């Protein structure tokens, strides 16, 4: 097992020639958010932008579009039909699959909510999308009763579960997951053919072909709601810009921990926020590249 480091991070960063334009720097579609969970979509989107994506596209329920658009001016938005509970309706599935194919990569799950509509949407994206995927949070919760659907992927995918989400996928417990983190991530990656990022202190990143990394950046100040959304945006951005799934995942985790350490150094572990981490991304890039 290898450790994530600065060299690995640089391997995943897209070269930006002087004649670059937004069309050559990748496009990322984020299918995220629900009523009451606008922040998840905002944090994932802001993190993706700070990591250099050429074009960000965010698909959210209509009800939270004004909040998102006020907080991220640089994104293209797809305000979607929603259920009575403010969740993306499965009626949008065909449209979203079309938008997936017009993107370089897709992030799905941050703040999505779990209901019949989102379960149907997530399953459709997993089985039909032909662009690389980052599957996080509620998208994982949407398939916890049938994780074998991951074997039907048409494109490479990265999953980013915390121990609770991994436990649900395995019908186990967080304690059991944490008792053997390395083998849990390795075995899941091999069985289901997805790059697996098992989050927590000493995040494990495992690929289906047996490549494994452990990350030692980061601190307990990151243990707050929203940190995972930031990570999904970072990984999705690197993936959309051309990094391989394992490099995007491992480098994204390394960067995520680095910005957490920078935020803790400036603000302290108790008071730092995920949004403070996003603000540290430019400093981290200047430091690491």
Residues belonging to the binding site for AMP are 199-203, 228
Q: Which residues are annotated as a binding site for (6S)-NADPHX?
A: 40, 111, 162, 229
Give the C-alpha separation, 230 to 45, whole Å: 8
Cα 24 to Cα 17, 102, 220, 247, 267: the distances in Å are 10, 13, 37, 20, 36
The first and second tokens of residue 255, run together, are 């960067």
Spatial separation of the C-alpha atoms in residues 34 and 14, rounded to whole Å: 31
Check: CB of residue 143 under 8 Å from CB of residue 112. no
Nearest C-alpha neighbor of 54 from the set 183, 231, 238: 238
Dist. CA 51–CA 28, nearest whole Å? 11
Q: Which residues are annotated as a binding site?
A: 40, 111, 162, 199-203, 228-229
């Amino acid at each position: 097992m290898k450790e994530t480091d600065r060299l690995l991070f640089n391997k995943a960063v897209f070269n930006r020639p002087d004649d670059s334009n937004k069309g050559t720097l990748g496009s990322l579609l984020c299918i995220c958010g629900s009523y009451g969970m606008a922040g998840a979509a905002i944090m994932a989107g802001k993190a993706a932008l700070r990591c250099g994506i050429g074009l960000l596209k965010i698909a959210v329920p209509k009800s939270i579009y004004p909040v998102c658009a006020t907080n991220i001016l640089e994104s293209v938005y797809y305000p979607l039909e929603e259920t009575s509970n403010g969740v993306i309706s499965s009626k949008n599935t065909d449209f979203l699959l079309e938008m997936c194919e017009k993107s370089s990569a897709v992030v799905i799950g941050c703040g999505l909510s779990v209901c019949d509509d989102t379960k149907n949407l997530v399953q459709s994206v997993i089985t039909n999308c032909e662009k690389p995927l980052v599957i996080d949070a509620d998208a994982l919760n949407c398939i916890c009763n049938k994780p074998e659907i991951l074997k039907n992927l048409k494109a490479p995918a990265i999953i980013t579960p915390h121990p609770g989400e991994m436990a649900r996928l395995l019908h186990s417990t967080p304690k059991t997951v944490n008792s053997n983190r390395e083998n849990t991530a390795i075995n899941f990656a091999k069985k289901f053919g997805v790059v697996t990022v098992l989050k927590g202190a000493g995040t494990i990143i495992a690929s289906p072909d047996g490549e494994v990394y452990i990350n030692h950046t980061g601190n307990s100040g990151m243990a707050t709601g929203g940190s995972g959304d930031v990570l999904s945006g970072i990984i999705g951005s690197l993936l959309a810009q051309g990094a391989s799934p394992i490099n995007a995942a491992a480098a994204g985790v390394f960067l995520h921990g680095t910005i957490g350490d920078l935020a803790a150094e400036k603000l302290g572990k108790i008071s730092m926020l995920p949004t403070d981490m996003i603000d540290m991304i430019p400093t981290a890039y200047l430091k690491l590249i």
